[in-house]
A and B are shown apart, each in its own frame.
Chain A
Amino acid sequence: MEIAIKKKIMAAVTCEARKVEGVPVFYAKDEEEKEVMAVTLCRVMEAVAHDMGNGVYIIVKH
């Protein structure tokens, strides 16, 4: 049987320290920078940014 990981959290982007652990975290100084970083990460990783609703974007490879 072939086992493969189909979805993976590649990184997280947030403005708040210590909110995310276990994946590469990118800290932004404000909302604007957070968006720019998320877009860049998405395009580079060919992934999608999802809004966790608590100020954290997770970059997920689908």
Chain B
Amino acid sequence: MAIAGAVIIGTLARYWMMRRDFRQYPSYPHAVVNHLALGFVAATLGAVAVPAIVAKEYTAVTFLALASTQFREVRSMEREMLGSLEKTEMVPRGSDFIEGIARTFEARNYLVMLIALVTSAVIFSFGLLYGIAAAFLVGFAIKNLMRGKVIKDIAKVRPAGFRFEGANLFVEDVQIMNLGLPEVKKTYHKQAKALIIEPFDDNAREILANAGQRQAIAHDAALLLGIHRDVDTPEFTPLLRRDTDTGRIAMIIVPIEPDEKCLVEAVKNVPVLESAQSSPLSSDAGKCASD
């Protein structure tokens, strides 16, 4: 009873964790099946642990160690798959973003194991209803603890103006690139949108300095608003450049839907990548330098 209940709840938890949102991933039907199956395996492993210990079958617990090897495979599977899809993306995700996604996939299996473990322990000792309640409690705790930051938590995002000085494109005073062709400039004047991302503090400044983080912003913005480019028009690749004096980020994009408000909203909700995290302010030298 405890095992069956925990396995079912654990698998459902895996399904609940699969956020099928705009990122279109993992909404591929076969990927959903893959991850549900792995979630089932994780839930089973977590569920049998407590009853096995009670039955003095200590060897069963060693299976938990096996699980970690198994789920490390999940990470490399995701990394490989997303990596191989990069070449065909109009605006690639970038290796940092892919690493973040792959790590999340691995971690979610461990979380499923945790939910199944707690559920089976509670069902075993107190009964089914308490088990379900415990599963919900752990589920919501995980949801809150695992919620990462997004760009709006670390920086102010605001629309900005852009101009050409000769062939050089500027967003406010940040130089973006050199574009020679008048026809390209015309398209920029007609459709491009620019914005500035101003970090709140030195930690945020270093996060935004990470090129992978900027690539993730470009990818998400391009995905949400549509990008006015094809394989033979690399001029319209969205670009994010850094103001090297202040650490501000200037972004220019030529979206199919030139709606400034939506663009700002899209950029605000880009996740802060784990690999971009850094906190110079937590060190004495960093604090001293920020004065």
Contact = CB atoms under 8 A, between A and B. Distances in A.
Contacts of B179: 48-51
B84 interface: no
Contacts of B233: 42-43
B235 interface: yes
Given A35-B182, A38-B180, A39-B183, A48 B234 contact: yes
A38 B235 CA distance: 13
Interface in B135-191: 166-167, 178-184
A51 B166 contact: yes
B180 A46 contact: no
B181 A42 contact: yes
A47 B234 contact: yes
B180 A49 contact: yes
A51 B234 contact: no
Interface residues of B, number: 15
Given A35-B183, A39-B183, A50 B178 contact: yes
B181 A35 contact: yes
A62 interface: yes
Contacts of A47: 234
Contacts of B66: none
Interface of B: 166-167, 178-184, 231-235, 237
> Which 5 A/B pairs are nearest by Cβ-Cβ distance?
A51-B167, A51-B180, A49-B180, A50-B178, A43-B232
20 contacts: A35-B181, A35-B183, A39-B181, A42-B181, A42-B232, A43-B232, A43-B233, A46-B232, A46-B234, A48-B180, A48-B235, A49-B184, A49-B235, A50-B167, A50-B180, A51-B166, A51-B179, A53-B166, A57-B180, A62-B237
B272 to A, nearest CB: 27
Contacts of B231: 46
Contacts of A46: 231-232, 234
Contacts of A48: 179-180, 234-235
Interface string A32-60: 00010011001110111111010001000
A50 B184 CA distance: 11
Contacts of A53: 166-167
B241 to A, nearest CB: 14
Interface in A3-21: none
Of B167, B181, B233, most A-chain CB atoms within 10 Å: B181
A50 B181 CA distance: 8
A49 B232 contact: no
A49 B181 contact: yes
Given A35-B183, A48-B234, 4 more contacts: A38-B180, A42-B235, A48-B180, A50-B180
A44 B182 CA distance: 18
A13 to B, nearest CB: 9
